[in-house]
Amino acid sequence: MNNEFNLTQLVEVILAQDDDFLKVRETLTRIGVASKHKKTLFQSCHILHKRGKFYIVHFKELFALDGKPTNLDESDIRRRNTIARLLGEWGLVKLVRPEQVADQAMMSQVKIILIHKKRTGNLSPNIPLVERITTKTNNQPNESSTPMG
């Protein structure tokens, strides 16, 4: 996919309630791709707060936004779309452009861990914590790479 990325390519959402950011963030930690060998769930998507708006983004899109190389492909986009749709169906977000998520992954490609089973498995955010919080140049929060908002 094209590594030149902008915010219009991301799935913009509106939170159902003003305080739902943390609910969405926690829910996304339990949705992703499962590794059967390691019994680990790799988180696929994050919530991004940028310029007063919220977006559901695939972790590879965060790399693209930072200008880093990424191998984001159509299956990643379809998985992101499916996850964004699910968040909408669960009443956590409202999709600003629902037609944007029409191309979906099969549910067999998305693993969801129920909240009461969260402690029984390993969850991996797919983005090193240091990269999410600081930039390499000035150790200041980097809004484009901070899926925590």
Diameter of the chain measured on Cα atoms? 42
Residue 109, domain member (yes or no): yes
In angstroms, rounded to a whole number, what is the distance separating the alpha carbons of residues 23 and 29? Answer: 10
Q: Is residue 128 part of a domain?
A: yes
Sheet holding 40-43, edge to edge: 111-112, 31-35, 40-43, 122-124
- The reply to whether 1 falls in a domain is no
Does residue 70 sit within a domain?
yes
In the three-class reduction of DSSP (H, G, I as helix; E, B as strand; rest coil), residue 11 is classed as strand
| Beta pairing partners, 45 | 58
* pLDDT at residue 1 in the model: 44
What is the per-residue pLDDT for 91?
95
Residue 125 counted as domain residue: yes
Segments in the chain below pLDDT 50: 1-3, 127-149
Q: Which amino acid is at 138?
A: N
Closest among 51, 31, 52 to 43, alpha carbons compared: 31
- What is the number of domains present in the chain? 1
In a domain, 41, yes or no: yes
Task: Please measure the distance between the N-terminal and C-terminal CA atoms of the chain and give it in whole angstroms.
Answer: 25
Determine the pLDDT at residue 31.
Answer: 94
Can you give the pLDDT at residue 140?
39
Output b/e per residue, 116-141; b: 16+ Cβ within 10 A: eeeeeeeeebbbeeebbeeeeeeeee
Q: For the domain that residue 114 is a member of, what is the CATH number?
A: 3.30.70.650
What local confidence, expressed as pLDDT, does residue 125 receive?
A: 58
In terms of residue numbers, what domain contains 47?
7-145
- Asked whether residue 138 is domain-assigned, the answer is yes
Residue 99 to residue 87: CA distance in whole angstroms: 15
